């Protein structure tokens, strides 16, 4: 209180007290870094201001609530709270469970009573809990608040394959920790049996550390030769499996004028592969059909007929002319004469 009274007694050069409105007008044009520096300086000089800053900052739960991911499937809310208790008093903490199976969904939330405790926890975002390296960040920031969202994630995250069932997350992290600081990593476990699926992931804090792990010629863990490569190259950017050896994709086939034969199925080593190929229709070289009706060398035009009649029959409509060529007859009609 004495500090507050002292500040109130401070006057300007012309002997007038600075009003709150005048101070506001002075503060509004300042940039955020300038305001932060100013409040930090005042807070360090006046404990009352420091307490006021802490009270305002802690009033918003968004500054105290952490999102924790990478948890084991069998972890409980009590285990989660115990792991983060060292940083300060916890107001609320819970693991999110699947409604159907009742098992952990691999993430949870921790809300501290004070913002200062949350900041302490964020100073070391990676924490080994029940054999897995969990990662935390402010819940209001989502995944974007972690360094894993950086564009170079593809150069820091590794896929580790051919793992022995005896290899645990602790052993995996210990083995790859020799190349650099690890941000996140774990063996992949089956949700139902909680047994190792034979692979895992390790995310380094730097791309240089990940490159060292890939270039390391010694890749034996748990008595097995393991696979180490970038996680992005393992899953494929397009999400599709590559074409089998010897099979050419349709887009690479030359298009020959003709018609496309419908796709067929070729079975190779138990795998069905659909493909199409062009085939040009062969020209049909059949002899021309013989003409059954040949025009006579000389003819006269009678009415509408171009031919010289051979036999004539009359009826009520006119003259019916029939020209006989072998077994075929072609009728012609003429108007009445």
What is the tens place of the pLDDT at every residue in 243-278? 344 444 444 444 444 444 444 444 444 444 444 444
Mean of pLDDT values over 135-154: 71
Tokens of 261: 């034969």
Mean of pLDDT values over 39-56: 91
pTM over 0.85: no
Looking at the predicted structure, is the pLDDT value of residue 184 above 60? yes
> 154-178, pLDDT tens digit by residue?
999 999 999 999 999 889 999 999 9
Q: What is the pLDDT of residue 218?
A: 92
Q: What is the pLDDT of residue 276?
A: 46
Confidence of residue 317 (pLDDT cuts 50, 70, 90): low
CA nearest to 325, candidates 290, 293, 291, 289: 293
CA separation (Å) from 185 to 134, 149, 201, 281, 291? 8, 15, 5, 59, 86
Compute the distance between CA of residue 183 and CA of residue 332 in angstroms, rounded to an integer.
99
Q: What is the pLDDT of residue 288?
A: 55
Give the helix/strand (H/E) hosting 228: strand 227-230
Compute the distance between CA of residue 128 and CA of residue 83 in angstroms, rounded to an integer.
9
Is the CB of residue 202 less than 8 Å from the CB of residue 144? Answer: no
Compute the distance between CA of residue 109 and CA of residue 112 in angstroms, rounded to an integer.
10
Q: What is the pLDDT of residue 203?
A: 92
The percent of residues above 70 in pLDDT, for the chain, comes to 62
Q: What is the pLDDT of residue 245?
A: 40
Looking at the predicted structure, is the pLDDT value of residue 80 above 80? yes
Q: What is the pLDDT of residue 17?
A: 72
Mean of pLDDT values over 33-53: 92
Q: Indicate the burial class of 58 (C-beta count within 10 angstroms; 0-12, 13-18, 19 or more).
A: middle
| Average pLDDT along the chain | 75
Is the CB of residue 50 less than 8 Å from the CB of residue 3? Answer: no
Looking at the predicted structure, is the pLDDT value of residue 60 above 50? yes
Among 35-39, 99-103, 309-313, name the one with the lowest average pLDDT: 309-313
Looking at the predicted structure, is the pLDDT value of residue 329 above 80? no
Q: What is the pLDDT of residue 257?
A: 47
Mean of pLDDT values over 106-119: 94
Looking at the predicted structure, is the pLDDT value of residue 131 above 70? yes
Looking at the predicted structure, is the pLDDT value of residue 207 above 50? yes
As a dihedral over the C-alpha atoms of residue 199, residue 205, residue 206, residue 209, rounded to 10 degrees, the angle is: -50
């Amino acid at each position: 209180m004495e500090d507050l009274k002292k500040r109130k007694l401070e006057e300007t050069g012309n002997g007038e007290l600075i009003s709150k409105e005048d101070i506001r007008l002075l503060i509004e044009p300042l940039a955020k870094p300038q305001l932060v520096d100013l409040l930090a300086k005042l807070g360090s000089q006046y404990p009352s201001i420091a307490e006021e800053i802490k009270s305002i900052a802690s009033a918003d739960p968004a500054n105290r609530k952490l999102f924790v991911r990478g948890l084991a499937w069998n972890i409980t809310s009590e285990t989660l709270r115990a792991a983060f208790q060292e940083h300060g008093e916890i107001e609320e903490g819970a693991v999110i469970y699947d409604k159907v199976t009742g098992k952990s969904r691999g993430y949870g939330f921790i809300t501290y009573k004070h913002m200062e405790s949350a900041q302490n926890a964020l100073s070391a975002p990676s924490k080994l809990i029940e054999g897995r390296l969990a990662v935390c960040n402010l819940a209001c920031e989502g995944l974007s608040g972690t360094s894993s969202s950086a564009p170079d994630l593809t150069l820091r995250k590794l896929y580790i394959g051919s793992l022995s069932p005896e290899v645990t997350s602790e052993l995996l992290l210990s083995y790859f920790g020799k190349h650099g600081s690890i941000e996140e990593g774990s063996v992949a476990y089956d949700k139902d049996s909680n047994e190792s699926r034979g692979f895992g992931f390790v995310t380094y804090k730097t791309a240089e550390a990940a490159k060292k792990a890939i270039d390391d010629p010694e890749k034996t863990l748990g008595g097995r030769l393991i696979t180490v490569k970038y996680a992005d190259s393992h899953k494929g950017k397009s999400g599709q499996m590559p074409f089998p050896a010897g099979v050419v994709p349709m887009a690479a086939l030359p298009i020959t004028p003709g018609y496309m034969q419908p796709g067929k199925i070729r079975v190779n080593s138990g795998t069905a592969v659909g493909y199409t190929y062009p085939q040009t229709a062969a020209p049909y070289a059949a002899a021309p059909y013989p003409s059954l009706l040949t025009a006579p060398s000389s003819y006269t035009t009678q009415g509408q007929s171009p031919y010289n009649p051979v036999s004539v029959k009359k009826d009520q409509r006119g003259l019916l002319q029939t020209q006989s060529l072998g077994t075929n007859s072609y009728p012609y009609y003429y108007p009445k004469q």
